[in-house]
Amino acid sequence: MTDNVAALRQLLLSAPRGALPMTYQQVASALALTPPRTIAQVTQALEQLMREDAAQQKPFIAALVVSRRGDGLPAAGFFELAFALGRFPADTAQQEAAYRAEFQGALNERESADKNH
């Protein structure tokens, strides 16, 4: 599991800008995850990344992964955890805007990390 978390962070940091956002299935394929429960493996790794980023007060790099059905948004679990971690509003009507800001913040964080290496 921790290997998946590290590999996922690296994948999201190194993916070409044009490849983002990625879907859960694209991530599972890129990480060569094997059944059973490949998407569950992705979501568990994403949730761990969110916890790590929240602890370090960084944008959620997990915002760069979306559901293939859902208007370019992550699955509900992303929003639930973002709220639980104190980063998103309770009002679901405001969560899409919060997500869009988080997505942009994650892109900006990637660019600044890239410049520092």
Enumerate the domain spans of the chain: 2-111
Report the distance separating Cα 109 and Cα 96, nearest Å: 20
The CA-based dihedral angle spanning residues 12, 18, 23, 28, taken in that order and rounded to the nearest 10 degrees: -50
Across the chain, mean pLDDT equals 93
Indicate the pairing of strand 22-23 with strand 65-66: parallel
Residue 117: the pLDDT is 56
- Please spell the DSSP secondary structure of 13-47, one letter per residue: HHS-GGG-SEEHHHHHHHTT--SSSHHHHHHHHHH
Arithmetic mean of pLDDT, 36-65: 97
Arithmetic mean of pLDDT, 33-42: 94
Q: Percentage of the chain surpassing pLDDT 70?
A: 96
CB 21: neighbour CB atoms within 10 A? 19
Contact 45, 8 (CB under 8 A): yes
The string of pLDDT tens digits covering residues 51-96 is 999 999 999 999 999 998 878 999 999 999 999 999 999 999 999 9
Residue 116: the pLDDT is 65
Predicted structure pTM score: 0.93
